[in-house]
Structures are given as structure tokens and as C-alpha cells.
Structure 1
Amino acid sequence: MTTAQPSQFTGYAAAWSIVFVWSFWLIVSRVASGSGLTIYDLAAMRYGLASIIAVPLSLYYKPWRGLSLVQIAVISFILGPIYILCVFSGFLYAPAAHGGIFMNGLLPLISLGFGLALFKARPSPRQLFGGALILISAVVLARDGAALISPDAWIGDLLFVIGAVFFSSYVILSERWSITAMQVIFCGTVVNAVLYLPIWVLFLPSGLADAPTGPLILQAIYQGFVPNLIGLIFIAHASRTIGNANTSSILAGVPGVGALLGVLILQEPLSPLGIMALVLLTVGLLISVRRRRPVAV
């Protein structure tokens, strides 16, 4: 019986860490409105606090080298305020579980659509079957959320889908352009901080001054540093050591873990039909991602 090499062990550990990092981010973002912070404050934390680390790294590595102005502008826009404000707005209407379902869960389906529309890449039967399972489960979960939680939950679901479209565009372009992790940090954090923070300070509503200390610290740490810096490093390490296929398969657990945490921590309702649809969604994700070839280690 063979055992995993140390590098593979750390790769699997990094991939599973990301599942919990993203799943807890769903919970933290869902409860943000109760802290008195606005969605504009959360976006400012995401870009501004992360820049404390991102700016020195960018000055050292100079990641703008090798990128054209068009590439910098496109990646910065895709990962910019429109994307993240749609996502944060979604949590005002829909439960945390729906964030994982409609952002992470729909990524393979949206990527198939982009591939077919832009690059004439015809999906395989496996991809079509996995995509069909994802679509059916998403529709069922959307109806379940509207019935159990709020008739306006569909608004949040739609905003999450818009966020997924943005993120799927980033995934496709980063692969096509061979964007490095440091280039993502530079475009997604530093450039957007320079553009967004002055607008936030001068024109956008803020609850920063009145927010309780505990929730403020939680949101600052998680929105500012965890998903977009630590998460990015973990994903890069997992992809290098265990390959994209294994990493993607593990990350397919985000919707399920997010839904479970929503039930346990936030007492968000999930019906038996919703549980069945969530299982179907996970199966569809696994079918969709297993086709990917691992990257060279």
C-alpha cells in the first residue's frame, strides 16, 4: 500500500482548508449585515486591508511585468467592485447556503456556456450530464429557498449567479493568459484599492464608525485577508502538488459544507428536498470536474 508524498499531503490539506475557508466566508458574509457594516464597507475591507500585504509584495515581485494594460484593466474589472458588491448584496436576500450553491456550484455550467459561445468548445457527454444535474438541483434549491426562507431569496440567487459569471470569466481568462497568483493579487487587490477606496471614503454610506468591535474585527480579518490572500495561496499550492482535477473535485464540497454550516451556525432551514438537491448538485460537480487533466507538479 502506497502513501501520499509529503508534498501531496500538504496539497490535499490545502485543498480541504480552502473548502472550509470558503464555506466559513459564506457564513461570515451572511451575518455582516447584523454588524451594522454596509456592503461598501465590506468591499473596502476586501481591497484596502488586503493591500497592506499586497502592496509590498507587488513592489517586490513587480507582477505588472508581462501584462498589457488591457489585461490589467480586464482582470481588475472582473475582480472589482461590481463583482464583489453583487455577491455581498446577495447575502442580504438569500441564505448562506445559496452563496455556495449559486456561486461555486454553477461555475462548471457557466464555464461550459462560455466555452461553447466564445471558443466553440463542444462539451462532452460527461460534461452535459454533469451540467444537467447542476442545473436541475439549482432550480430545485432556488424554489426551496423561496418557500422556506423568503419570497425574495431569488433576488439573492440572481446576484450570486452574476457573481459566478464574473468569477468564471476570470478563471477562463487567467488560464488563457497564464495569469500568475501575484498578478491576480496585483490586479484584484492593489488596482481595485486605488480605484475604489477614494470613492468609498467620499461618496458611499458606511457603518464603520458605529460597528461593534467584535463583529468589526471578524469582518476585517476574514474579508480583508482570508479568502483573497490565504485562499489564493492555498489554491495555488494544491493545484501544483495534487493537480487541478483533484483540487477541483475537493472544492466541489463547498456548497455542501456551506449549507451544513448554515444549518448548524445560522439555523437556516433546509428541507429533505433541498438536501436531495444538494447531493445531486455535488454529484454533478464531481462529474463535471473529473475530466480536467492535472497540471505539472
Structure 2
Amino acid sequence: MLAPPPASTRPAILGWLAALSSVSIWAVWAVATRHAVTHDLPPAAIGLFRFGVPALILLPFAWRIGLFPMGLGLFKGLALLGSGAPFFLIVASRHAICSGGRDRPLLPGTMPFFVALIGWFVFGERLAAVRVLGFALILVGIAGIGGHGVFFAGNGAWRGHLLLLAGAFLWGIYTHAYRRSGLTAYQGAALIGLWSFLILLPFGAPPLVRALGDGLTGPMLLQALLQGFVAGVAGIVLYGIAIDRLGASRAAALAPLGIILAALLAIPVLGEIPSPAAWIGIILATLGVVLASGIVGQPLSGAAASKGGR
């Protein structure tokens, strides 16, 4: 029988598992959101499911810390909230106004860059050369997977690009804000869910009532499960655990794996075979994730991650 890993490495192992699980959840969330806003419901109505379910399930945590937790501060509170209703509306609006999907890799692909840049410019965090190389390979891989239209496209596609980049930037801010908030993963998810639900309620309730009258109960229940419980509770909590165990930029570095998973899942599910350039992009992005995550090099213990936060 193999001996269990040393106690000092267990937090890091749990962090990697949490990060990989959250990446898989976000890949499913992206598909579910795109389908919903282009077929059944407007973004604000879907947002009520996305945040109402976690607000209800995690209500005891929000009740314990209150709507305005002591010591959090206005800036950190707004930075946390940015990953809630604002982030959701920005990304969902992009899916609603842009039919093309070649730029979708921009969101998970650039999020680690924003996390790393914010950490570097704002908090003075330094990155090893091997991790910088990893980020560069991720960027090249994104271009290969998404094709020419990821960065260069006409017909007003730049608006969709800006929306996805804005969403990635908000998520980068949230990653660092949560890291320094003093909240647990459950408390952070509860606070974001409750505030976002209250913000979206006046805008999402009327179309939700109309959808019920139109007989869309089935799609609504599916969105409640995928958006609310899977993404809103499990995804946010797991990502928070990954940040706690690994640090901000290491947890974020695994986000591009969602692009790779989506491309591979599209083969059996949608019958979409990646082009040769996309296969090269998948390989380069995978290698980039390995390098950017900090796995290569000196092993990182949970204690080190919690101190460095990089």
C-alpha cells in the first residue's frame, strides 16, 4: 500500500482537484448559458436562477456574516460583487447579441493573464520565467483553437470581444479580492449570490413570469440546476477553495483547460472535428497550462501557496 502524502502537501492536492473540478463546471456553464440566452430566456431571468439558488442554499452563511461583513470594506465588497451580476450580464449579453462562437476562448483564456497582471502591477507579485512562457503558449493556443476570428473579425464582432475581455477582467479582480477578503469559500459564494439576486430581481422577475406562462417550465428547471446549483454553488465554492490552497494566479492558470475540454467534448456531442490548427492550439494551450500553473519546478506546498498567493 502506498503511503499517504505528507500533511503539508495535502492542501495543495486538494487545491488542484478543486481547480480542475471548477474548470469542468465552467465549461458546462458556458454551454448552458449560451443555449439559454439564444433560445429561451433573457440574461436577467437566467441570472435569477444563477444567483437565487446559491443565495437560498447558502443563506445560513450570509445570515451569519450579514450583508455588510465587518472588515471587508467597500472596495473589496464591490470587487467581489463584480464576479456576480455584472460578470454574468456581460457574458450572457455577449452570447445574446453575437451569434458566432469563435471568440469564446477569450474569456477563460485571458482570465489568467488579468489575474497575473493585477498581481504584478497592484500587489507586486513576481512570476517565474517558466510561468510567463506558459501564459504565452496559452495565448497562442487560444488563437489556434478559435481561429482567425478570435482576435481579428469584422461585422462588429469586436463588441463581443470587448464584452468577453471585460468579463475576464472582472473575474481577475474578484480572484484577488477574494484572496484578501478573509471570507471562506462558502461565505464568499453566499454573499455574491444574495447581492446579485437582489440586484437582478426587478429586471429578471417579469420575463421569468412570462416564461412560466409560455410553458417553459422544463428549460427553467434545467437552468436552475445547471446555473444555480452546479455553477452557482459548486463552481464558486470549488474555485474559492482552489484560491485558498494554491494562490490566486495558480488557481486561475487552469481556466484555459475549459477551452480544451469544450473543444474535445464537441467531437462526440456536436460532431465538430477540430481543424489541424485547432489541434495544435489544444496541444500548445495544454502545455501552457502546465507551465503557467507552477506544477513544473519546485513542488508547492499548501503553506507556501497561502503565503505567496501567486
TM-score for the superposition, normalised by structure 2 = 0.76
Shift of 1:91: 2.9
Gaps of 5+ in 1: none
Aligned to 2:55: 51
Range with greater deviation from structure 2 (188-197 or 162-171): 188-197
Give percent identity, aligned residues only. 24
Shift of 1:141: 3.8
CA distance change for structure 1 residues 44 and 265 in 2, over 3 Å: closer, same or farther?
Answer: same
Q: Distance in 2 between matches of 1:83 and 1:205?
A: 24
Q: Distance in 2 between matches of 1:204 and 1:117?
A: 42
Aligned to 2:269: 265
- Give the conservation status (yes or no) of the 8 Å contact 1:108–1:289: no
Matches within 5 A, 1:137-156: 137-145=141-149, 155-156=159-160
Q: Distance in 2 between matches of 1:115 and 1:61?
A: 27
Aligned to 1:198: 202
Aligned to 2:27: 23
- Give the conservation status (yes or no) of the 8 Å contact 2:90–2:163: yes
Shift of 1:146: 6.3
The amino acid of 2:74's aligned partner reads V
**1:68-117 deviation digits (Å, cap 9, x = unpaired):** 44046413531232211111123343667854x32222222122222333
Aligned residues: 294
Q: Distance in 2 between matches of 1:247 and 1:62?
A: 27
Gaps of 5+ in 2: none
1:67 is aligned to 2:71? yes
Matches within 5 A, 1:78-93: 78-92=82-96, 93=98
Matches within 5 A, 1:56-135: 56-60=60-64, 62=66, 64-71=68-75, 73-92=77-96, 93=98, 99=104, 101-135=105-139
CA distance change for structure 1 residues 159 and 294 in 2, over 3 Å: closer, same or farther?
Answer: farther
Q: Distance in 1 between matches of 2:272 and 2:71?
A: 44
- Give the conservation status (yes or no) of the 8 Å contact 2:87–2:170: yes
1:37 is aligned to 2:41? yes
TM-score for the superposition, normalised by structure 1 = 0.79
- Give the conservation status (yes or no) of the 8 Å contact 2:49–2:227: yes
Shift of 1:271: 1.5
Q: Distance in 1 between matches of 2:293 and 2:68?
A: 31
Aligned to 2:302: 295
Range with greater deviation from structure 2 (59-68 or 250-259): 59-68
Give the alignment's Cα RMSD to 1 decimal: 3.8
Shift of 1:168: 0.6
- Give the conservation status (yes or no) of the 8 Å contact 1:107–1:165: yes
